Amino acid sequence: MPEVHIQSAFDRDLEAIQAMIMKMGGIVETQLLDSVQALEERDDELAAHVRATDKQVDQLEEQINLEAARVIAMRAPIATDLRTVLTVLKISNNLERIGDYAKNLAKRSVVLGQMPQISGAAGSIRRMSKAVEQMLKDALDAYIHRDVELARDVRDRDQDVDQMYNALFREFLTHMMEDPRNITACMHLHFIAKNIERCGDHVTSIAEQVIYLATGEMPSDSRPKADATSAQPIMEDRG
């Protein structure tokens, strides 16, 4: 069997897996948007829908993993090809985790529906999640087209998300210090903001996989890290 034939069979297999990744990405994107909409509009039905969709995402991940294993077993790819298949496992795992965070967000939005509203919070969270959702869309585009520039752009934009998170963290602290009745709601909102920030990290990880696939190297400039609240005291205690 001529080598070109084997190669193109591998390519076909890979395309099929990539199509599943795109499908999974589409569902997860929707989950993220829906969960934040449910939060903003206090829509418990939509929140329930987001939670129900999680099963579909888990099944897709499982299917992708099995298919990848099948391709490795059938085609015994080496070097770059093997790397390409292994990347699929990482990306599907990143997507599954983003879906998980959306599910958690949907759960909390139902709880928050019974609490006093924190002014401005839902809007800020929507802007933050919108940024992450756009990053996700672009990361998947970059993946399909092996577009290194776009992937680098996605990676850079994660810093904006981190900044939005840090600003929200300060906002929530202020609300809590001003009025203890806000504390419980702010704890939940803080979790939500943190989880969206983590979604951004997972999208960044997808972008980095794309850069790795296209260039053979992981981006070397260590990414300006993330959550400043774990690395420094954000706010002096007061009161």
The contact set with a copy of itself (CB under 8 A) reads 65-66, 69, 72-74, 76-78, 82, 85-86, 89, 93, 104, 107-108, 111, 114-116, 169, 173, 176-177, 179-185, 187-188, 190-191, 194, 229-235, 237-239
> Which of 16, 234 has the CB closer to a copy of itself?
234
> Which of 5, 232 has the CB closer to a copy of itself?
232
List the structure tokens of 125: 């969270």
> Which of 6, 235 has the CB closer to a copy of itself?
235
Phi, psi (rounded to 5 degrees) for 43: -105, 95
Long-range contacts, 6-11 (Cβ 8 Å, 24+): 6/75, 9/75, 10/71, 10/75, 10/77, 10/81
Q: Minimum distance from CB of 231 to a copy of itself (Å)? A: 6
Q: Minimum distance from CB of 21 to a copy of itself (Å)? A: 17
Q: Minimum distance from CB of 184 to a copy of itself (Å)? A: 6
CB atoms within 10 A of CB 238: 6
Q: Minimum distance from CB of 176 to a copy of itself (Å)? A: 5
> Which of 19, 187 has the CB closer to a copy of itself?
187
> Which of 155, 190 has the CB closer to a copy of itself?
190
Q: How far, in Å, CA of 136 to CA of 27, rounded?
A: 11
Q: Minimum distance from CB of 133 to a copy of itself (Å)? A: 21
> Which of 1, 231 has the CB closer to a copy of itself?
231
Contact between residue 38 and residue 106 where contact means Cβ atoms under 8 Å apart: yes
Q: How far, in Å, CA of 79 to CA of 181, rounded?
A: 58
Of 109, 33, 105, 20, nearest in space to 67 by CA = 20
Q: Minimum distance from CB of 153 to a copy of itself (Å)? A: 25
Contact between residue 154 and residue 200 where contact means Cβ atoms under 8 Å apart: no
Contact between residue 231 and residue 167 where contact means Cβ atoms under 8 Å apart: no
